[in-house]
Each structure stands twice: as C-alpha cells, then as structure tokens.
Amino acid sequence: MEIRLDGKTAIITGASRGIGEATARLLHASGANVMLISRKSEVLEGVAKSLGERASYFVANVGDSESARNAIETTLDKFGSIDILINNAATNPYFGSIMEIDESRAIKTVQVNQIGTLVWTQAAYSSYMKENGGSVVNVASVGGLSVEWGIGFYNVTKAAVIRLTEQMAGEMGPKVRVNAVAPGLIKTKFAKALWESNEDIVASKLPLRRIGEPDDVAKVIVFLASEAAGWITGSTVVVDGGAMVVPSGGIT
Ligand SMILES: NC(=O)c1ccc[n+]([C@@H]2O[C@H](COP(=O)([O-])OP(=O)(O)OC[C@H]3O[C@@H](n4cnc5c(N)ncnc54)[C@H](OP(=O)(O)O)[C@@H]3O)[C@@H](O)[C@H]2O)c1
C-alpha cells in the first residue's frame, strides 16, 4: 500500500530537525505541500529549501497562540488548505524531582507541550478543518503512559497530550480525526542525554535491539494522517521498539 497525499497541505511544528523534520520530508515525498514551523529561521529555511517546491516555513514559538493563528492564515494564503496538522514541537527545560521544579519552568512546559497542542489545533479547526475536514496527529511519548524519575513533569504534559487527543477526537468527529503517537527513545538532539554515552547498552535492553530513528516515528505519523487510517481516531500508537513490554526480569 502506497500512501499518497497529493494536493493535501500539512503543517508540522518542530520541523527543523529530529522527528518533525523526518515527518515533513516523508509527507512531502508523499505529495503533500508542507509548512514547516520552529523558532529559529536559519535551519528551518535550510530544510524548506532542500525540499524545494511545495515547501514553505514560518517561524513561531508553538506556545504563542497569536503565532499559531498567524501561521494558519499564512498557510491558507499560500497553499489554500490545511488538511493535516502535526503537533510535534515540545520542550523539556527541567530534569529532576517534580517536588523541586520551579514554577516558571513548569508553566513553560505546560504552555508549549499542552497548550501549544490545544491552540494550534483550535486555530486549524476553526479556520479550515471544521468546514472541510482534516487529520491531526499529536506527538506524545511513552512517558505519558508510565512513571519515571527525572523527566516526570514533562511526562505529565505528555499524558495530557494523550488525553487531549482523546477529547479532541470525540469532539471533532466525524470530519476531523485526531490521533497520537507515543515514541520511545529516539535518536535526536532532544533525547541525546539519554542515549549518547550508552547507546549499545540501551539498545540491548529493547526487544528490537536498537534505538529508534526519527523515520520510525515519521512513518507511523504519516499513516495516521492519511486516509489509510480513515477509521482510526482517538488512538495513541506506541512506537518504542518494544520498550513498554520488556519483561520485569529484563531481556535474556
Ligand atoms: N527523541 C525522543 O526520544 C522522544 C521520545 C518521546 C517523545 N518525543 C517527542 O517527539 C517530539 C519531537 O522531538 P525530537 O526528539 O524530534 O526533538 P528535536 O530533535 O530536539 O527537535 C525539536 C524540534 O522542535 C522545535 N521546537 C522546540 N521548541 C519549540 C517551540 N517552543 N516552538 C516551536 N518549535 C520548537 C525545534 O526547533 P527550534 O529549536 O528551532 O525551535 C526542533 O525543530 C517532541 O514532542 C518530543 O517530546 C521525543
């Protein structure tokens, strides 16, 4: 089965590198117009230029709702539709016990990861998808499905993204489908501290014996965004090389 998205337009937040860039490249290769979003113009422009026609970019912080509305309007002016929204950008400014997180970093994490997902979806929905239909894919995390030390507060916002996905799916059907992916450890800058110094050890503990690549997640996002997933909404697909099902005694 080949997924084709010719004539569709997708907005991808956090598209300058990692999972967002891989997703933007795959959506574009599938025929979609792509609008790339991140905070820094230089790298973003480079990705857009490397894609060529049908690719554009808009500099925005996803935690800023006015930027979301401007990006949506710019996309509609340029491409005429917003059929797909990928809420991928996220932040994790704190590592440690949630008993010690300061309020400003807690608020920033909620603002970008949770409120960002909400306001970009609201903007796409009210400006286009409510009338014309569409598909939203939110990038959560396996951390939103489990409890772990160190990135606990970030994980709280990812749990919220999973619940937002379910709530939105219930409210936005039948014209709009909303799903999420929950990646495990993926080889990107975001998670470097978790894999860089001990990649082989981390990989050896996974049923599939390797750390994920951005493309592993991008392929699932593109599937969920496409009509191939036309009867799926409100779901969160775990993409983790089996990390969530490691037996308690470990892999032998
Ligand atoms: N890597 C993993 O192991 C892993 C696991 C589970 C879930 N995830 C999730 O996967 C998603 C992508 O992460 P990644 O690993 O691909 O990260 P990454 O390689 O660090 O890329 C993050 C992207 O988001 C952009 N970004 C960050 N903060 C932003 C903001 N406030 N507004 C707009 N853009 C922003 C960055 O560009 P600028 O700096 O230019 O803004 C960049 O394009 C995130 O939702 C993350 O929580 C990742």
Q: Whose CA is nearest to atom 30 of ligand 1?
A: 61
User: DSSP 3-state assignment of 35?
Assistant: strand
What confidence score (pLDDT) does residue 251 get? Answer: 81
Closest C-alpha to 91, from 54, 131, 38: 38
Q: Which residues line ligand 1 (CB under 6 A)?
A: 13-20, 38-40, 61-63, 88-91, 112, 139, 141, 183, 185-186, 188-191
Q: Where along the chain do its domains lie?
A: 9-183+214-237
Structure confidence at residue 124 as a pLDDT band (50, 70, 90): very high
User: DSSP 3-state assignment of 22?
Assistant: helix
Ligand 1 pocket, mutate which of 11, 23, 38 (most atoms under 8 A from CB): 38
Q: Whose CA is nearest to atom 20 of ligand 1?
A: 190
What confidence score (pLDDT) does residue 250 get? Answer: 81
Measured distance CA(207)–CA(193) in Å, rounded: 21
User: DSSP 3-state assignment of 134?
Assistant: strand
Q: By the 8 A CB rule, do 82 and 72 touch?
A: yes
Mean pLDDT on 7-28: 98
Ligand 1 pocket, mutate which of 43, 88, 154, 181 (most atoms under 8 A from CB): 88
Encode pLDDT of 42-87 as tens digits: 999 999 999 999 999 999 999 999 999 999 999 999 999 999 999 9
- Joined together, the tokens standing for residue 23 give 């997703």
Identity of residue 33: N
Q: Whose CA is nearest to atom 1 of ligand 1?
A: 186
- The correct CATH number of 9-183+214-237 out of 3.30.1950.10, 3.40.50.720, 3.60.15.30, 3.40.50.10800 is 3.40.50.720
Encode pLDDT of 185-220 as tens digits: 999 999 998 889 999 999 999 999 999 999 999 999
Is 102 a residue whose pLDDT tops 80?
yes
pTM, two decimal places: 0.98
Q: By the 8 A CB rule, do 125 and 176 touch?
A: yes
- Joined together, the tokens standing for residue 180 give 């999420």
Is 252 a residue whose pLDDT tops 80?
no
154 assigned to active site: yes
What confidence score (pLDDT) does residue 42 get? Answer: 96
CA of 87 to the centre of ligand 1 (A): 10
Give the strand pairing for 55-59 and 33-38.
parallel
Sign of the alpha-carbon torsion through 62, 67, 73, 75: negative
Structure confidence at residue 10 as a pLDDT band (50, 70, 90): very high
